């Protein structure tokens, strides 16, 4: 228990401000899949906080709202190394680092040294914590690509989520890159 958290709140992005989500099924569908993924662990919950707020989903705004709703809670923001490295390009990154302890799980391409080169000059970057865990190379874009290529995603996502993706024909299942671009 590296962070000793009482609960983990999963917050799907409402409107992604920095990028378009490829084959996006919509925020409500993403929330439903997150709910399926975490349903069997009582420490995990989902939140509509970014889905119900209009405009771009900025993490700084989400953290401010969470802090306002539960001022006694200590907030942590858990990020993959790739997202942590891009923190400097986020909306109000200094407020993100001020409002929450950023906890990072490293990726092969984004270890702590590479991340600190990118964000080390941000106020509060020295408080970033790195999680001691095996490197697992699973990304949402890789999962969507595998679905599109009719390749299995078992063991990459919970079975309930894989079944949901399949039964709802999400992420361009059966469409290859050639079919998408022609």
Burial class (CB in 10 A: 0-12, 13-18, 19+), 111: middle
> Do the beta carbons of residue 71 and residue 100 sit within 8 Å?
no
What is the rounded CA–CA span in Å between residue 7 and residue 122? 28
Per-residue pLDDT of the chain (182 residues; tens, 9 = 90+): 589 999 999 999 999 887 777 778 999 999 999 999 999 999 999 999 999 999 999 999 999 999 999 999 999 999 999 999 999 999 999 999 999 999 999 988 899 999 999 999 999 999 999 998 887 778 888 899 999 999 999 999 999 999 999 999 998 765 544 444 33
What is the rounded CA–CA span in Å between residue 73 and residue 30? 26
What is the rounded CA–CA span in Å between residue 134 and residue 106? 9
CA distances from 50 to 30, 85, 103 (A): 12, 22, 20
pTM of the model: 0.86
What is the rounded CA–CA span in Å between residue 81 and residue 19? 17
The count of C-alpha atoms lying within 13 angstroms of the C-alpha of 55, restricted to the half-sphere facing its C-beta, is 5
Domains of the chain: 8-171 (3.40.50.620)
């Amino acid at each position: 228990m590296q962070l000793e958290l009482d609960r983990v709140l999963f917050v799907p992005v409402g409107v992604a401000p920095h990028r378009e989500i490829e084959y996006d099924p919509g925020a409500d569908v993403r929330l439903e899949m997150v709910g399926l993924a975490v349903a069997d662990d009582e420490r995990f919950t989902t939140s509509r906080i970014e889905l119900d707020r209009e405009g771009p989903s900025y993490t700084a705004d989400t953290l401010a709202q969470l802090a306002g709703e539960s001022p006694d809670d200590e907030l942590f923001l858990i990020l993959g190394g790739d997202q942590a490295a891009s923190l400097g390009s986020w909306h109000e990154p200094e407020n993100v680092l001020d409002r929450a302890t950023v906890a990072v799980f490293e990726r092969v391409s984004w270890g702590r040294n590479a991340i600190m080169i990118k964000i080390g000059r941000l106020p509060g970057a020295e408080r970033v914590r790195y999680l001691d865990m095996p490197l697992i190379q699973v990304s949402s874009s890789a999962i969507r690509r595998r679905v599109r290529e009719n390749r299995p995603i078992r063991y990459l996502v919970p079975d309930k989520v894989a079944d949901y993706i399949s039964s709802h024909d999400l992420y361009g299942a059966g469409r290859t890159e050639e079919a998408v671009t022609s």
